[in-house]
Amino acid sequence: MSPARHAAARALLADPLTNKGTAFTEDERDLFGLHGLLPPHVGTLDSQIERRMRALDSMGNDFQRYSFLRELQDSNEVLFHALVQSDLPKLLPLVYTPTVGEGCERFSEIWRRPRGVFLSYPNRHRIADILADPAFDRVKVVVVSDGERILGLGDQGAGGMGIPIGKLALYTACAGIHPAEVLPVLLDVGTDNRARREDPLYVGWRAPRVRGAEYDAFVETFVSAVHERLPGVLLQWEDFAGKNAYDLLGRYRDRLLSFNDDIQGTAATAVGTLLAAIRKTGVPLVEQRVVLLGAGAAGSGIAELLVKAMMAEGLDEAGARARIWAVDRDGLVLSDMVALPPQQVPLARRRDEIAGWTLPGSGVVGLRETVANVRPTVLIGASGQHRAFDERTIREMAAHVERPVIFPLSNPVSRAEAHPADLLAWSDGRAIVGSGSPFGVEGVTQVNNVYVFPGVGLGALASGATRVTEGMFMAAARRLGTLAGNRAGLLPPIDDLRQVALQVAVAVAAQAQEEGVASAPPAEFTEEAIHARMWKPHYD
């Protein structure tokens, strides 16, 4: 066999998109010169899944399993996705939350092979050349992060690449986006996490974060290059710090097909789950009193979508906002606070609205005082503050509400506002609980963005949408809120995520058409047409 043929054989096995491992047939081994490079056994995809599952089960902890799965993805994409889809409830927490948090913190320890694109600030003049790689010709979905606000763990710098990689694995698992059509991107503008910069294993650019005009120009260069290189691509922003998250969404949402999952995806997931919850309580949405702990990107996004949902149910904007109270790091968000972030200004309450409240000596209106005076029917946590929902606060809430709805949404588990088992105990079993991370508590629904963003992306692409609108997220939330049917949980089981993505995609595509932003003919985004475009892992 010629040296060129030997090289081609090894390249075939080295490419995760073409490698089949032991599943190459005898004829394929003859054709591609693979004899001797593989053991003689000819396996099947099912037998390979069983082998990898046994290996996973033998490992001592979830981080080892996460690392194993990352290596598998980098060696055989079909097998990785087939394994994940063979048992979504078991594998999803290993591929994404909560394990991905530690995966980002320890990303430099386990980095072995290139995946996605690291665009570092020193290489800002090379971005267009980097994206010119023919390997990206098929890309339809880009997930990008700058690593500054990774879950509730803060600045992880280049380690934040674990988030785009994980999100895109879910796009494939749930929405059937082919693995050759996704591209994870990390905008490496440095890190203010000193421990990361001083770690000798750190793989990122060892410099403090670039900010201000230089940062904006860098992102503009990236977006312009993506827009030119990949017209029509869906660009999803992930885990940017609050101000940047809102600024970038506002700057680019009408320029290309783009959305921020932390702001919009979290909002649609939370609102959809709340709609399902209030069907169980029997109390209409317009009669709910909502307290939000955490008014950053996620919390503010939830509040704004809730306002729109209440207005659709008959309230005017003032009436809707009057039913939502936001508490942040400095206490209840009040209009006379200095330098409120722009996203918090519409959520701020007037000082005279709390004139009759009994306050602690410090005068700070915290979560406990807000709950005692508002008597909320709904309590949502998006704060990243571990155990912020304490027993006294929850018992106060439950004393005034027959079926309190409580969603501690912060990820990972170490940042959750409360353990669901405690919430059930403190409410004497009456609370309807949804958590951001899986806790394995019976009757508790996991309120995970994976219920929304894959379907939103799929629906936007199928309809040929020119932009992702707030109406499309509202359509996703409303559809999600109906999918559990008569099941005990608020949302469908994790096993049904592909069907959830399909149903959300159909609703999103229909909304895109109604709003006039769909460019594809309606025949291309019927349920049957969208289902037909969803890839399933198999060997060609």
Tokens encoding 315:
């309230």
Instruction: Give the closest residue to 144 by CA, choosing from 294, 44, 260.
Output: 260
Helix axes 297-312, 470-480, angle to 10 degrees: 80
HSE (side-chain half, CA atoms, 13 Å) at 458: 38
3-state helix vs strand vs coil in the chain, percent to 5: 55, 10, 40
Instruction: Give the closest residue to 186 by CA, choosing from 211, 173, 203.
Output: 203
Query: Other C-beta atoms within 10 Å of 286: how many?
Result: 15
* Phi, psi values for residue 94, rounded to 5°: -85, -35
20 as an active site residue: the answer is no
HSE (side-chain half, CA atoms, 13 Å) at 302: 31
Instruction: Give the closest residue to 127 by CA, choosing from 197, 213, 189, 202.
Output: 189
Q: Collapsing DSSP states into helix, strand and coil, what is residue 177?
A: coil
* Radius of gyration of the CA atoms of the chain, in A: 24
Query: Other C-beta atoms within 10 Å of 194: how many?
Result: 10
Quick check: 398 and 427 in contact, CB under 8 A? yes
In terms of DSSP bridges, do strands 182-188 and 141-145 run parallel, antiparallel, or are they unpaired? parallel
Residues 6+ apart with CB under 8 A from 492: 483, 484, 499, 500
Catalytic residue among 20, 66, 140, 167: 167
User: Residue 392 carries which side chain, given as an amino acid letter?
Assistant: R
HSE (side-chain half, CA atoms, 13 Å) at 538: 5
Catalytic residue among 96, 202, 246, 451: 96
Distance CA 352, CA 2 (A): 84
167 as an active site residue: the answer is yes
| Residue whose tokens read 């729109």 | 308
Query: Other C-beta atoms within 10 Å of 283: how many?
Result: 18
HSE (side-chain half, CA atoms, 13 Å) at 168: 29
Distance CA 315, CA 307 (A): 9
Query: Other C-beta atoms within 10 Å of 429: how many?
Result: 10
Q: Collapsing DSSP states into helix, strand and coil, what is residue 72?
A: helix
Residues listed for the chain: 540
Instruction: Give the closest residue to 48 by CA, choosing from 88, 76, 29.
Output: 76
DSSP-derived secondary structure letter, 290: E
Distance CA 272, CA 479 (A): 7
Query: Other C-beta atoms within 10 Å of 163: how many?
Result: 29
**Which of the residues are catalytic?**
96, 167
